[in-house]
Amino acid sequence: MAFPRNVAIFLLHLVLLPIAFQHCNAKGLKLDFYKKTCPGAEATVKHMMTGFMSRAPTLAASFLRMHFHDCFVRGCDGSVLLNSTRKSKSEKDAIPNQTLRGFQVIDTIKSALEKKCPGVVSCADILALVARDAVSLLNGPFWIVPLGRRDGRVSLMNEALANLPPPFANITELKASFAAKGLNTKDLAVLSGGHTIGNAHCFVFSSRLYNFTGKGDTDPSLDPKYIPFLKKKCKPEDVTTLVEMTPGTVKSFDEDYYTLITKGRGLFQSDAALLDDRQTRAYVKLQATSHGSTFFRDFAASMVKLGKVGVLTGKAGEIRRHCALVN
């Protein structure tokens, strides 16, 4: 029996509740953390995100990526939101983060919560909620976000370069990068599915089209029929053009990413690399052939797990008054 999509998503929410409860006490995080100190904080974030997303749905991919990039450097402590200072370049200025958008949205939401509950809701928690709501508002999965993260005071550009897996990483490098954060091979395959939304700059993958091994060749793992389409979009020195990660469905959170991977149409080498490992290859093929039968559930579980990486709780860190500045 086929359910309407909105009914299916509601039922999925019910299925995911136990997942959230399994993790709700991890490292000091818990559900309803702001119930007494800032009632309605989550509702405020959701309401504001609904407005922002209605006007700029393409920001969803950036919010998801921003949360991922935050958690992979010093843990989920909001360090990716900090501005550089005269003495030190922050994560924001690292090449992988220079294409992130939506920082002003985070600042606007933070400002609203500061008026409502001064000095209570952390920027790290806001970022975790924004990532969840961005995905949910594109008809993707919903997950309960355990809260209580505190904000870090340190943000270093070099740490971002050292910790963020690059788009040209091979499967061995990807697995090692995820394992270093307490995430397993399945999490790698699942969270890579976040590429089902958003765009990529041509310069990130153009070497696969024009000079893969330094001999003016193309990446043999790319679908030969897809290469002319990409070359028409991206000239060799193009540093501005954006290409949809999943052409035609970039504004819908679904399993199309995995279907494209099986056809050799992933934009990044790190996407294609998922076919180079038995476990990740099996997951890609499962979602592609089953129309994403477990993708939403798996993605929700892996996002809850990601959101616990290296968190600061209790009296560690601080609650920033402005997300771009330490107090």
CA nearest neighbour of 164 among 7, 16, 309:
309
Phi-psi region of 23 (alpha: psi -120 to 50; beta: other; left: phi over 0): alpha
Long-range contacts of 25-32 (CB under 8 A, 24+ apart): 25/146, 26/146, 26/308, 27/308, 27/311, 27/313, 28/148, 28/311, 28/313, 28/314, 29/146, 29/147, 29/148, 29/149, 29/307, 29/308, 29/311, 29/313, 30/146, 30/147, 30/148, 31/144, 31/146, 31/147
Question: At which residue do the structure tokens 């359910």 appear?
Answer: 3
249 known member of a binding site: yes
4 known member of a binding site: no
204 known member of a binding site: no
195 known member of a binding site: yes
Return the SS3 of 283. Answer: helix
248 known member of a binding site: no
37 known member of a binding site: no
- Consecutive H or E run containing 203: helix 202-205
55 burial level (CB within 10 Å; 0-12, 13-18, 19+): exposed
CA angle 107, 253, 233 (to 5 degrees): 90
75 known member of a binding site: yes
**Contact assessment for residue 78 and residue 39, using Cβ atoms and an 8 Å cutoff:** no
CA nearest neighbour of 235 among 215, 211, 264, 210:
210
Task: Give the active site residue among 23, 67, 69, 201.
Answer: 69
198 known member of a binding site: no
Query: Does 69 qualify as catalytic in the annotation?
Result: yes
196 known member of a binding site: yes
Binding residues for heme b, as ranges, are 195
Residues identified as active-site: 69
Binding residues for Ca(2+), as ranges, are 70, 73, 75, 77, 79, 91, 196, 249, 254
Binding residues for substrate, as ranges, are 165
Binding residues, as ranges, are 70, 73, 75, 77, 79, 91, 165, 195-196, 249, 254
